[in-house]
Amino acid sequence: MIFFIWIQLALFCAAAKQNSPDRFEQFQAKSLTAPLKLDDAAYEQLTAPPRNYSIAILLTALEARFGCQLCRDFQPEWDLVGKSWARGAKSGQPRMLYGTLDFADGKGTFQKLMLQTAPVMMFFPPTIGPHVQGDGQPIRYDFTTGSQTADQIYDWINRHLPPGPKPPIYRPLNYFRIIGGTTAALGLVTFFSVASPYVIPIIQNRNLWAAISLIIILLFTSGHMYNHIRKVPYVAGDGRGGISYFAGGFSNQFGLETQIVAAMYATLSFATIALAFRVPRMADPKQQQIAVFVWAGVVFGMYSFLLSVFRVKNGGYPFHLPPF
C-alpha cells in the first residue's frame, strides 16, 4: 500500500514539474512589449544559476536627480532592442531576455557590483545547456564612447549569442518626420507655383549669372580658398613699425592681400567690359573718345600696379610698367 502511495506522489511531482513553466518562460511572458523592469530581487532571481538562457541587463539611472543624460538618451534605443526581439523572436532561436535595472530600484545590486557610473550593460550567457560559454560569468559593456544606437548594441549582443537567425531591429515609422517632410514639400511646390512668374525671369537673366560667375572667379583666383585652408593672418608687420600688405614669395599670402588682388582683377574686368560693350553703344563720338581714353587709362594704370605686386611676390621678376 505504501509502495503505491510513493509511486503516485512521484508521478504527481513529475507532472507538476512538467506543467509548471520554467524561469525563462515566466519572465518571457512579462517582456512581450518592452524589456523587463527589474528590482534587486528580480535581478537575483533572473541571473542566478543554473540558466538555460541568455539575458542582457541595462543598469541605468533615469531619474533627473542623478543627472545621467546619457542614461536618458540611450533608454529609447534600449527599449527598441527589447521590443524588436520580443516582436520577432521565433521558436528555435536563442533563448534571450532583456531587462532594465534602474538605480532607484536596484541600489543593492549597484553596491554589490561596485558600479560608480551608469549606464552599464551586463550580458549573462547560459550556464547549462548546449550553448554554455566559458564559466558563465557576465560580460560587461561600458559606454565609454558616449551614447550608442540600438543597432550597435544589438550587434554586440548578437556576437555573444549562438550562431543562427535572429530577429532584426524594427524601427517604428516617424510619422512626425513624414508629415513634416510632406508639408514642407507641398509648401515649396506652392511657393514656386505662386512665385514662378516673378522668380523665373530673374533666374533666366544672363546679366545676373554673368555677375555671379565673375564674383566667384574673382574670389577663387585671388586666393580666397587658400586663406581658409591655411588660416593666414590678415596683415603683418614689416619689421620697421609699419604694416606689410603683401607677403613675399608664392607660398605666403595675407588676408588683405587677397582683397586687394580681387579688387584689381575686378577693376580690370569692368574696364574691359566697358570698352567692349558700353563704349561702342555711345552715340556721341566725342564722349565715346573720352570714354576710350578713360577706360584705357584705367586698364593701363591697374595693370601697372598688378605688375608691381607681382614683383613683390617674385623678387627676380625683371619687368615693370610705369608709373608703378
On the 0-12 / 13-18 / 19+ scale of CB atoms within 10 A, 57 is: buried
Whole-number CA gyration radius for the chain = 39
Task: Please count the other Cβ atoms lying within 10 Å of the Cβ belonging to residue 284.
Answer: 9
pLDDT per residue of the chain (324 residues) written in tens, 0 to 9? 454 444 444 443 443 333 334 788 888 887 777 899 999 999 999 999 888 889 999 999 999 888 899 999 999 999 999 988 888 777 657 888 999 999 999 999 999 999 888 899 999 999 888 888 777 788 998 887 777 888 899 999 988 888 878 888 888 888 888 999 999 999 999 988 888 888 888 888 998 998 899 888 888 888 888 888 888 898 888 778 888 888 887 778 888 888 898 999 999 988 999 999 889 999 898 999 999 999 999 999 999 998 888 888 887 788 888 887
pTM: 0.53
Look up residue 111 and give its three cell numbers: 553596491
Residue for cell digits 507655383? Answer: 193
Contact indicator for 141, 83 with CB cutoff of 8 Å: no
Q: How far apart are CA 260 and CA 235, in angstroms?
A: 12
| Spatial CB neighbours of 214, under 8 Å, sequence gap ≥ 6 | 266, 269
The confidence score (pLDDT) of residue 190 equals 92
Instruction: Tell me, rounded to whole angstroms, the distance of Cα 228 from its chain centroid.
Output: 23
In Å, what is the CA distance from 87 to each residue of 15, 52, 54, 82? Answer: 31, 21, 17, 9
What is the distance between the terminal CA atoms of the chain, rounded to a whole angstrom? 130
Q: How many residues does the chain have?
A: 324
The confidence score (pLDDT) of residue 91 equals 65
Q: How far apart are CA 84 and CA 57, in angstroms?
A: 15
The confidence score (pLDDT) of residue 276 equals 92
Look up residue 68 and give its three cell numbers: 545621467
CA angle 93, 98, 102 (to 5 degrees): 175
**Segment (H or E) for 172:** none
The confidence score (pLDDT) of residue 92 equals 56
